[in-house]
A and B are shown apart, each in its own frame.
Chain A
Amino acid sequence: MNIPEIFKNLEYGPAPEGDEQAVAWLDSHGRKFGSFIDGTFTKPGKGFATINPANGKELAQITQSTKADLDRALKAARKATGPWQALSGFERAKYLYAIARQVQKHARLFAVLETMDNGKPIRESRDIDVPLVARHFYHHAGWAQHIEREFPDHQPYGVCGQVIPWNFPLLMMAWKIAPALAAGNTVVLKPAEFTSLTALLFAEICREIDLPPGVVNIVTGDGEVGAAIMDHPDIDKVAFTGSTGVGKAIRKATAGSGKGISLELGGKSPFIVFEDADIDSAVEGLVDAIWFNQGQVCCAGSRLLVQESIEKRFIKKLKARMAKLRIGDPLDKAIDIGALIAPIQVERVAELMKKGEQEGAIRYQPDGELPADGCFMKPTLFTNVSPANTIASEEVFGPVLVAMSFRTPDEAVSLANNSLYGLAASVWSENINLALDIAPRVKAGIVWINSTNQFDAACGFGGYKESGFGREGGKEGMAAYLRPTWETKLKALPASQKPVAPKLFETDGIDRTAKLYVGGKQSRPDGGYARAITGPDGKLIAEVGEGNRKDIRNAVEAARSALGWGNKTAHLRSQILYYMGENLDYRKAEFADRIRAMTGASVGAAKKEVDQTIERLFAFAGWADKYDGAVHNPPTRAMTVAMVEPIGVIGITAPDEAPLLGAISLLAPAIAMGNTAVLIPSEHSPLAMTDFYQILETSDLPGGVVNIVTGEKESLTNTLVEHDGVDAHFYVGDAAGGKRVEEMSIHNLKQTWTNKGKAIDWADKSVCEGEYFMARSTQVKNVWVPYGA
């Protein structure tokens, strides 16, 4: 096209970013790559091709790591832990700082290579991914130096196994490696098989800056290698970003292993537009929400929820905007949408779109031709969609948006939360009252007000519900790579004593059979059976209801109806906990006698347990209005409010030892932070907790906040852990029981805490009255609030 022609039509023309340096780099390695283990690259072995999805051409051969490779990487990582942890924070900071500098120096090479390997537009890899990578290492260089101050009595896990996805290859690697290294861990990381190249270039940087061998190991390969890392016994902590399906498999595979785990999984994030939004800006926001990285973003705003009053106008504007998106060669600087990762992904997305149409959704795609070759797809909008449609509920991971409308703020929240996922949400309104009302009510780990897909190293990122748990970024992200030192020093929990068979009808006084406590009322067990509770001498003390599945169901229903507890003021929750302590104090002699009768404890010991329980209730009453969030400081004109929110309904399997103190030590933080609970007291010694009904009843605790079901530990726990209405579970018992809880948690990916078969000293205030259990009773939501008149 000549100049006079262009003068008339003002077309953009091609604006290619050169790939010469990246090609030279690939050539310099003979286009064959081994893994990076113990500071050196292994000889390239048998493997697979990595393909440029924009043109289908092979870029290089990547090695499929073997079991022996993995063992060697883990050995190197293990060996490196000692010297790496022996370095001062400042020394580690210098390494992280050097990595950040080196990433910046090679920024364009990283960006071009990323775009060639992944298919994302060069604008994104150049302006978003790579700068965020550098920022992540700079930020965490700071953490390396301040960890001891900010996390006293904590230590790194040791060796971290990390598996990352193909959508942000370099960025996800930075999110994994930076905090791990800052905390003093060493890592074995596997990049996605589609996108290993930038991780290998990164490995070169590690070598250039003389990072001690073994601190960072990059093993390439497919999902099998990933599974082998997660399963490997010599890993202390696993971190995974990827699909919810694989995340669940990892949770199951690591159950009972004692490994730390964080999972950042899928999403179907709502993009909520109220009628008082800056509509044009919201339309533009959608471009960044769902057509960023071809929609292959876990937190993509893929569900548009628009207020009915502006729906028509909004959709019209959106379609006009879609027609302006330029699709094509991702190395072109003026391209908005590049290539999807691989033909298989294109097929998957197309399949879901077909299903959407079969179910009645109406597809809109702008006119225009796609490039003949490569994994390109048009931006797509589905209207005439409702939550019942597959395309509205399943994660598509492609450039596909579904639009639904709502009438009221409440309906917007209901639709937003009508999802298995809970990763992110966008809320658009120029009314700060409305926006800040919606943000806490959406069940998502990140909420962007009048913005979308904002990321920063200083702000936590991670999901609620089946979007996973654990955070990356911010202080909450650092916490995921550290554990309290006491956790590593616990001894095994001795086996529970089998209760002696009761001698029936040997009770004294009037028969008192404790019922269950559900929804604020004492209720008879559904099955109509009772369970005898004996003392250590076999003497029958009392009988309690034999709870069954239906009782658990009822208790969870009551707990869910009581979730408004979390919206009560922290001051009120605090007052009620104080009141519980006060009422227990009033009846402490009675509780001490009960403990003695059940456990045979000495007078002093029983009295002490009650006293400690009162103190514990006071401790968490004190915490209720103090364990709060933070305002993070991202490098944009926005405040990011890290809110501490309750998880929801927490199931608790209380310990046999310390039957009152142990149960309250788990219950008190849960309700202090606004959760509701279903508690299974000690199977053998439940009476202190059934007596506790009266404390609950006299302390103004709203019905349903605490529900107690007595009966057989294992079957009740199983039902509770399998219940999708339960959001988290605390379990104390033997190692096998803890493992079972972790395995069974995967259906709705509830967060679990278990004693890992270890003995917790419930009297230890440093363990049981600190922030530890509060952190496990809460999740952090980062709300981004940009401002500016």
Chain B
Amino acid sequence: MTLKAVDLGAHNHNHQRNPGFDLDLGWMRQVRMNRSALERRASTIGTRRSVKKQWQAAWLLRAITFIDLTTLNGDDSAGRVERLCAKARQPVRPEILKALGADGLKVNPGAVCVYHNFVETAVNALKGTGIPVAAVSTGFPAGLTPFETRIKEVEASVAAGAKEIDVVIERHHVLNGDWQALYDQMKAFREACGEAHLKTILGTGELATQTNVAKASLVCMLAGADFIKTSTGKEKVNADLQTSLSMIRMIRWFHEETGIEIGYKPAGGISKAKDALTFMALMKEELGDNWLQPHLFRFGASSLLTDIERQLEHNATGRYSADYRQPMV
């Protein structure tokens, strides 16, 4: 494999966007994932690493910056999206930040993630914050609408102001090993994104094996994805640690071979502060501190924020807090 796009020797390099590469089936054939071993590693991340006291508070504040604050429901409305955006502007009560000595920090979610119809609403509501709007796209969540309309969907969301596009893959391409088809579609989505960042949702809960997850990750990265993401939140199985491990090890391998840093976004089911810390420890251990930045790591979540706020309040006051005391997401 001679895919070097960035010289790994250069320290403190600026993040370079994934230019995309040819589909490399030889590389695909080398991909091996051992489920039991992945599970063992995943199950000890949370027991090998632990952050307490001010470290925990600082990590949780950082975790907020990784959140793609998301609403993806059938009953979403402009009012609901505006409430979400207001929360994004001020995710933690100022008195808590002050008590933690963190009022000087800029703590905002990584993005607000909505359906296409509310992109404009969100863009307007977030004006001046620098918080990007992400749109789920391409026939979310199944990805089985006509290809042409999916391309148009991406273009429409970008035109409406979305800076990030979360696309879904057609799972059957993975299940049938039709890597070329998957690659071609992702490449087309990437082109349609233009300057907007492409986040590819694998729907890992429907990919059957860790090896499939890893191979799908690689195809999407070769096709030019900026982020790979686990789930839509609509599958039966959402983001878990062992699947995350498969994906981030592919990110690591991709980086070793190409020098390109790809972002990782677990989504769905991450609703506890403790889970967020465990995911962060996993990233830190497997990919390093560099990946603990919003351009390389996101959580797809919404209620997670409330739990983090409760923990922060506890950290600030020493009393356990309740969810109703935090402004609703």
Contacts and interface: CB of A to CB of B under 8 A. Distances in A.
Given A15-B52, A284-B41, A334-B48, A637 B58 contact: no
Given A3-B54, A10-B284, A334-B49, 7 more contacts: A4-B58, A7-B61, A7-B62, A13-B54, A15-B55, A281-B34, A334-B48
Given A3-B61, A7-B102, A638 B36 contact: yes
Contacts of B292: 10
Interface in B153-177: none
A6 B55 contact: yes
A4 B41 CA distance: 31
A327 to B, nearest CB: 13
Contacts of B39: 788
Interface string A488-529: 000000000000000000000000000000000000000000
B249 interface: yes
Contacts of B104: 4
Contact of B101 (A2, A9, A288): A2
B55 A450 contact: no
18 contacts: A5-B58, A7-B58, A12-B50, A13-B54, A15-B51, A15-B52, A278-B33, A278-B38, A281-B33, A281-B34, A334-B48, A450-B37, A638-B36, A788-B35, A788-B36, A789-B35, A789-B208, A789-B211
B236 interface: no
Interface centre among B57, B59, B209, B210 (most CB of A within 10 A): B59
A337 B48 CA distance: 11
A6 B36 contact: no
A278 B101 CA distance: 45
A7 B50 CA distance: 15
B49 A3 contact: no
A759 B209 CA distance: 62
A406 B30 CA distance: 20
A430 interface: yes
A285 B105 CA distance: 40
Contacts of A282: 37
Given A4-B101, A7-B105, A13 B36 contact: no
A280 B49 contact: no
Interface string B108-142: 00000000000000000000000000000000000
B9 to A, nearest CB: 14
Contacts of B209: 789
Contacts of A333: 47, 50
B58 A10 contact: yes
A288 B40 CA distance: 10
A4 B107 CA distance: 11
Interface in A281-303: 281-282, 284-285, 288
The secondary structure that dominates the B interface is: helix
A7 B105 CA distance: 9
B32 interface: yes
A6 B63 CA distance: 12
Contacts of A281: 33-34, 37-38, 41
A13 B59 CA distance: 11
Contacts, number: 108
A467 interface: no
B48 A123 contact: yes
Interface in B249-293: 249, 252, 280, 284-285, 289, 292
B100 interface: yes
Interface string A679-720: 000000000000000000000000000000000000000000
B55 A278 contact: no
A20 interface: no
Contact of B62 (A10, A279, A336, A788): A10
Nearest to A335: B48
Interface string A1-28: 1111111011111110000000000000
Given A3-B102, A334-B49, A638-B36, A12 B41 contact: no
Interface string A117-147: 0000001000100000000000000000000
Interface of A: 1-7, 9-15, 123, 127, 276-282, 284-285, 288, 324, 333-334, 336, 430, 450-451, 636-638, 786-789
A282 to B, nearest CB: 8
A607 B285 CA distance: 76
B50 A450 contact: no
Interface centre among A13, A278, A288, A451 (most CB of B within 10 A): A278
B289 A10 contact: yes
Given A3-B102, A4-B101, A15-B52, A277 B32 contact: yes
A284 B41 CA distance: 7
Contacts of A284: 37, 40-41
A492 to B, nearest CB: 55
A1 B37 contact: no
Interface residues of B, number: 41
Contacts of B208: 789
A127 B45 CA distance: 12
A333 B47 CA distance: 8
Contact of B58 (A6, A277, A786): A6
Contacts of A288: 40
A15 B54 contact: no
B92 to A, nearest CB: 12
Contact of B32 (A2, A5, A278, A636): A278
Given A2-B101, A15-B52, A278 B289 contact: no
Contacts of B49: 12, 334
Contacts of B210: 789
Nearest to A5: B58
B304 to A, nearest CB: 18
A280 B62 contact: no
A7 B33 CA distance: 34
A2 B54 CA distance: 7
A278 B52 contact: no
Contacts of B100: 3
B53 interface: yes
Given A4-B105, A284-B41, A13 B35 contact: no
A10 B54 contact: no
B54 A1 contact: yes
Interface string B190-218: 00000000000000000011110000000
A789 B37 CA distance: 11
A278 B105 contact: no
A123 B47 contact: yes
Contact of A334 (B35, B40, B50, B61): B50
Interface in B54-74: 54-55, 57-59, 61-62
Given A277-B32, A281-B34, A336-B48, A11 B55 contact: yes
A788 B39 CA distance: 10
Nearest to B316: A3
A284 B208 CA distance: 23
Given A10-B59, A13-B52, A450 B34 contact: yes
Nearest to B253: A280
A789 B249 CA distance: 18
Given A10-B289, A789-B208, A278 B37 contact: yes
A364 to B, nearest CB: 19
Contacts of A12: 49-51, 55
Nearest to B104: A4
Nearest to B100: A3
A406 to B, nearest CB: 19
A275 to B, nearest CB: 9
Contacts of A336: 48
Contacts of A4: 58, 101-102, 104-105
